Structure 1
């Protein structure tokens, strides 16, 4: 498929359609490419699109909407595109309803990760996304929607390791995604936890922490709010001088499997 001379033209066409807001037409172009050349043609095109274009296209297919791009986007391309999701968030959006912004982000991440029942692809997506600084912040935002459950889950992960299952005492929608992340990348799981709970540097400390349900009392440990994390992610949006996000230089604080 890489020798097909039509692919550069298709990449250009898709980019122009997405930037013009014609997501349905872009998706139609993907469908025609699949019919003519097979799935690999779309995979190759998605791998060559600018990450901000991929982010713009995928953002239009959150939740229950289906998309060939959602099903076929390469893990690395998706991981890079996540850096641009906060580019359209205004101060008013973050200030007025940070939970709604976080829920939109969750719908996107959950939709990509669970778009197909392929454990290997799911693990690749989560491992690639959580290996970046912006990815760690994305998952921390999602975890901030259920901080108590994440602390409890940290204890289960520490006790069961790779044998942890999707069955958990938590009824949070975030829990299944968090478990999949912990199974896919111990390092990525740790990075996201420490982004949410910056006082901690070891999983054992987090597992032993007790969450205070009383809103009138401060936690005994620092926990970044959803709003603060949303602002942190927006600051990580690459500038126009650096269009392709690079892997973070943040020191690994997990098991070092990506270092």
Structure 2
């Protein structure tokens, strides 16, 4: 039997083992199972299992790790598997926390997204992850939740992207860690970037319309245009959590706009 055939024969057992450990809450043991499989069969085995795990199981596993914790899963999860798992993250959030401390949830979500996207130095993988994640309705909502933590800076960088294209520097009125992620998303997928902006600012149909809009200088003053709050977006994502009997599907909405980095 070839090495690859031997690996394939072991995958169902590894998939079942990891699923049982994650559902039991033993995330560290699931990571240890991945580590052992990688040592014996290579990273291929881990990526293959992650590509076939139910997305709700992947969501539960990855939700336990962020940029501060090392995880083979965050480094090897295939872009499509990660994109599908994002649809289930909101199911792990307590209702009272969404209501009472939405920013804390959003910051945890940022740590998760940042931890997966920047887990390696592979720029092509980074773009694939961002493009897949933002190609779904729930993915657009996920990124809008992140942008809601710094809406003024996101609007500023949207204007800069429209003006400078691929030469954008990302300089805004703050040094938010969210801005480099926003620029990388725009470079990975113009459509995904636009969709996430419209989720946050639903009155605008294209980012170039934002060039005429300005945030008030007073942080306590509401902007003159509609902006969804972090709490609103968290509830919006909660409503998009699929039934475990259905699989999340790519949105059928057509692409909008033109190549902003051409």
Alpha-carbon contact 2:148-2:200 (below 8 Å) kept: yes
SS at match of 1:65: coil
State the Cα distance separating 1:204 from its structure 2 match. Answer: 1.1
Structure-2 change in CA distance of 1:18 and 1:159 (3 Å) = same
TM score, norm. by length of structure 2? 0.93
Mapping 1:23-172, distance limit 5 Å: 23-165=27-169, 170-172=174-176
Structure-2 change in CA distance of 1:114 and 1:26 (3 Å) = same
State the Cα distance separating 1:166 from its structure 2 match. Answer: 5.4
Give me the whole-angstrom Cα distance separating, in 2, the residues matched to 1:64 and 1:6: 31
Give me the whole-angstrom Cα distance separating, in 2, the residues matched to 1:91 and 1:202: 33
Alpha-carbon contact 1:84-1:237 (below 8 Å) kept: yes
Give me the whole-angstrom Cα distance separating, in 2, the residues matched to 1:166 and 1:154: 9
Q: Which runs of 5+ in 1 are unaligned?
A: none
Give me the whole-angstrom Cα distance separating, in 2, the residues matched to 1:61 and 1:98: 19
Give me the whole-angstrom Cα distance separating, in 2, the residues matched to 1:168 and 1:237: 33
RMSD: 1.7
Give me the whole-angstrom Cα distance separating, in 2, the residues matched to 1:8 and 1:87: 26
Give me the whole-angstrom Cα distance separating, in 2, the residues matched to 1:167 and 1:71: 29
TM score, norm. by length of structure 1? 0.94
SS at match of 1:181: helix
Q: Does 1:211 align with 2:215?
A: yes
Cα-to-partner distance string for 1:165-195 (whole Å, 9 max, x where unaligned)? 4565541121111111011111111000010
Cα-to-partner distance string for 1:63-114 (whole Å, 9 max, x where unaligned)? 3100000100000000000000000223211110000010010000000011
State the Cα distance separating 1:162 from its structure 2 match. Answer: 2.2
Find the partner of 1:230 among 223, 234, 243: 234
Alpha-carbon contact 1:188-1:254 (below 8 Å) kept: no
Mapping 1:218-257, distance limit 5 Å: 218-242=222-246, 244-255=247-258
SS at match of 1:61: coil
Alpha-carbon contact 2:67-2:116 (below 8 Å) kept: no
Q: List 4+ stretches of structure 1 deviating above 2 A.
A: 1-4, 162-170, 213-218, 249-257
Give me the whole-angstrom Cα distance separating, in 2, the residues matched to 1:236 and 1:127: 19
